[in-house]
Structure 1
Amino acid sequence: MPTTTLPPAFGGPESPRNPSRRTLLIATAGAGGALAVAAAAPFVATLTPSERAMAAGAPVEVDIDKLAPGELMVVEWRGKPVWILRRTPDMLAALARAEPQLADPQSGVASQQPEYARNAHRSRNPEIFVAVGICTHLGCSPSSAFQAGNPTLGADWPGGFLCPCHGSTFDLAGRVFKNKPAPTNLEIPPYKYLSDTRLLIGADDAAAA
């Protein structure tokens, strides 16, 4: 079988006429790397303070004016999906019906929500539900299963969310059902209203409505 000899630039033997070729290539590569780092530094320096803050997980402003009843929108905050659901009157009524089936209906695990979300609807405004869309079991993202009496989930299903990875279920306030792999309710991020139609995800204060 014929053998293949690599040229010097790809790891083959050095040319007898140019024994320093390999050294030159290494030195050139090192210089190129240094130039790349030097070129990157001015680019980072040109980022505005707001861009650097956003990259670090700064609050995200969201317009919910066009969010219709029963609709769910998803935004990103700190690399996480954040759900914003405009609940219908039927959805709100389903929260009370779900409570006997829930593991923590009173939101007793304080770390899972700010104090202003420790209520039956787990939100500042009963109509608008905001939650981190990550299952508290192993980090999958649950899918919406809003239809009450969903054939897959049983006739007594009140509507909510289903994690496709291991079957954890959550009601329309992100509260976990009993005997499921997920140990706690979904996380509610800090947020506040800037107006009736604008939210700021990732920040709150005592004066926020």
Structure 2
Amino acid sequence: MASTPVSVLGNPNTPTPCNPGRRQLLIATAGVGGVLAAAAAVPFVASLTPSERAMAAGAPVEVDIDKLAPGEMMVVEWRGKPVWILHRTPEMLAALAKAEGELADPGSAVASQQPEYAHNPHRSRRPEIFVAVGICTHLGCSPSSAFQPGNPAIGADWRGGFLCPCHGSTFDLAGRVFKNKPAPTNLEVPPYIYLSDARLRIGEDNGPA
């Protein structure tokens, strides 16, 4: 690595006299500084609680959904990704079947995009609660919610879903991509389990349904 240029006052052609004592002092100071920096890092790492360290490593995230009303969606973070939790209304669930003819993969044939228990028309453990990673499968943008049917920005025949603002990919209320869109696959459904009727654990799927 090239050394950083240093300005020297006086004649640039005059060599700087060597001072062995000063050089030893600088070496000793640098060594002490390195030890202090390492020592300072220890309290910072130690200050992280076990749960914080686990979260940073991608541990499961527990979420309360008892206050999530029908038609509402909340967003949590798991492994640095936004995860949507949508409480679908009966009308939203009814719209899923109506959209199937317009979808690129209505049957969720790409197995890697959802766990086996989400391999169904509503792509979820329970029909009314939809859990998905909110990242478009095209280039990684985060789609926006567009739940209102007939959204003028999308079309009069729009039944509700998600719109990616970057390149126009659209997804239904089960995260299934519409035909002839840039996104190649449906949105990802992460592993998750229900700890109770009102509590989810995202990032784990070996437990009670």
- Partners of 1:14 and 1:22 within 8 A in 2: no
Aligned to 1:198: 199
The CA distance in 2 between the partners of 1:185 and 1:178, in whole Å, is 11
CA RMSD for the aligned pairs? 2.4
TM-fit CA distance, 1:36: 1.2
Take 1:34 and 1:96, find their aligned partners in 2: how far apart are those partners? 65
Gaps of 5+ in 2: 1-5
The CA deviation string for residues 13-72 of structure 1, in whole angstroms up to 9 with x for no partner, is 998797865774565345323311233135424645433222100000000011111111
Task: Look up the match of 1:141.
Answer: 142
Unaligned segments of structure 1, at least 5 residues: none
Amino acid across the alignment from 2:103: L
Percent identity between matched residues is: 81
How many residues end up aligned between the 2 structures? Answer: 200
Matched, 1:96 2:97: yes
CA distance in 2, matches of 1:159, 1:27: 68
- In the other structure, the counterpart of 1:107 is 108
SS in 2 for 1:44: helix
Q: Deviations over 1:70-102 (max 9, x none)?
A: 111000000000000000111111101111110
**CA distance in 1: counterparts of 2:122 and 2:57, whole angstroms:** 30
Aligned counterparts, 1:116-135, within 5 A: 116-135=117-136
Q: Could you tell me how far apart the structure 2 residues matched to 1:22 and 1:74 are?
A: 57
TM (normalized to structure 2)? 0.86
1:165 partner amino acid: C
Deviates more, 1:44-53 or 1:174-183: 44-53
Check the 8 A contact 1:170/1:176 in 2, yes or no.
yes
Kindly indicate whether the alpha-carbon contact (under 8 Å) linking 1:191 and 1:200 is maintained by their aligned counterparts in 2: yes
**In 2, are the aligned partners of 1:15 and 1:21 still within 8 Å (CA)?**
no
